[in-house]
Amino acid sequence: MSNTADVVIVGGGPVGAVLALALGNAGRAAVVVEPHAADDIAGPTRPVALSYGSRLILDRLDAWARLAPATAITHIHVSQRSGLGRVMLTARNAGLPALGYVVDYGGLRTALAGLLAARAHARVMRGAVTKVVPGHDRARVEYSCGDASGQIEAKLVVIADGGAIGDDFPSHTVDYRQNAVVAVVSTEKPHRNTAFERFTPAGPLALLPYDEHYALVWSVAPEHAQALCGLPAAEFACELEREFGGRLGAFSGVAQRAAFPLILKVTADSGSPRVVRVGNAAQTLHPVAGQGLNLGLRDAWELAAELARTAPRDIGSSAACSAFRARRRLDRSGGIGFTDALVRGFSNDLAPLRTARGIALTALGCVPPARDFVMRRMVFGPRA
């Protein structure tokens, strides 16, 4: 089977789906190639924090109202274990109704897939892409679906596969030697829409308000993560309380435990026309400060805006691809640098660094313009 299209999107995850929907709003058609059917993608609960800026994107695509539950984060308490210094970031100081929201990743995907299925501008094809071949006038996408295979030629191929393919593109990878243990936990005290980011020598520990509970993202050494996942729930809750402290009372009701390896992977765009990368396919970040998906959604939104401005004959041209990459450079390098610096600077127990971190956290709380700049940058990216 052979086919042609203006734009092919490899991967119908949140970033690929948002791109297809935003293109549709601009009257531009796209073909999405995704191996999983809409009713086969929800998977186990994995809460993710979306910034208020991401909410605005999803609102404009009529997707936000379909997400439930979406628990508002109005306060973020940042601290370090066994060290001084803390800061409270608040939606009020940022002049926003919320700094962000915690939603279920699977629920988000299901909502976006439902919207895509109803849109005339987007065609979703079931298949796993095996190869993307850039060319001068068009790029070729080869895919397989069961025993069948096929190819599509497009003016522009957008790789949004979460980083699954693309080993033929050069990439820069850092293995943080940390795994994220995720779980949904209950606490003695109510969350009052407050998230916690607590830096420990082993890695950051985040608690995100999620419905009536907390979603935990706890970064530790891989062997410790395996041990934590294997503990009986009550022992896990004790370990968590030992690490986090007693601010929320006792932990209980531990559910949905899983571990994810954590890396930084930045895949270079070849600089050639016809192929660009968005979301995790371009940059896979450590989940500290919950930046990865938010950055990916801004990738998708900005690419759709760039394509809406581009004359149909110039879609995928060298100039159009370069304009998109230039537009995303600051936000991407900021997100990569910010998360990498947090992980490296905070995941240790060196006394001079501990003191410097304490001073930095205290200073951030005492200098409102600096605090508000950091907050708005985290929420909206550099176009705050």
Q: What is the Cα 97 distance to its own chain's centre? A: 21
Question: How far, in Å, CA of 93 to CA of 335, rounded?
Answer: 22
For position 182 contacting ligand FAD by CB under 6 A, the verdict is yes
Binding ligand FAD (rule: CB under 6 A), the pick from 279, 316, 335, 381 is 279
Question: How far, in Å, CA of 20 to CA of 100, rounded?
Answer: 23
Please give the structure tokens belonging to residue 228.
Answer: 């934590």
For position 296 contacting ligand FAD by CB under 6 A, the verdict is yes
Question: How far, in Å, CA of 270 to CA of 288, rounded?
Answer: 28
3-state secondary structure of 186: strand
Residues 217-236 that bind ligand FAD (CB under 6 A): 217
- The nearer residue to ligand FAD, 101 or 346, going by C-beta atoms, is 101
Please give the structure tokens belonging to residue 114.
Answer: 């439902």
69 upstream amide cis, omega within 30 of 0 = yes
Judged by CB under 6 A, how many residues of this single chain contact ligand FAD?
34
Residues 127-146 that bind ligand FAD (CB under 6 A): 128-129
Q: Are 278 and 15 within 8 A, CB to CB? A: yes
Length of the chain: 384
Pairing of strands 213-220, 251-267: unpaired
For position 203 contacting ligand FAD by CB under 6 A, the verdict is no
For position 34 contacting ligand FAD by CB under 6 A, the verdict is yes
| End-to-end Cα separation, the chain, in angstroms | 45
The nearest distance, CB 144 to ligand FAD, in angstroms, is 9
Binding segment toward ligand FAD, per CB under 6 A, in 32-40, 69-77, 193-201, 264-272: 32-40
Q: Which amino acid is at 208?
A: L
Binding ligand FAD (rule: CB under 6 A), the pick from 106, 114, 134, 162 is 162
Binding ligand FAD (rule: CB under 6 A), the pick from 33, 96, 132, 307 is 33
Binding ligand FAD (rule: CB under 6 A), the pick from 164, 174, 323, 360 is 164
The nearest distance, CB 188 to ligand FAD, in angstroms, is 24
Which residues would be at the binding site for ligand FAD (CB under 6 A)?
10-16, 33-36, 48-49, 128-129, 160-162, 164-165, 180, 182, 217, 260, 279-281, 287, 290-294, 296
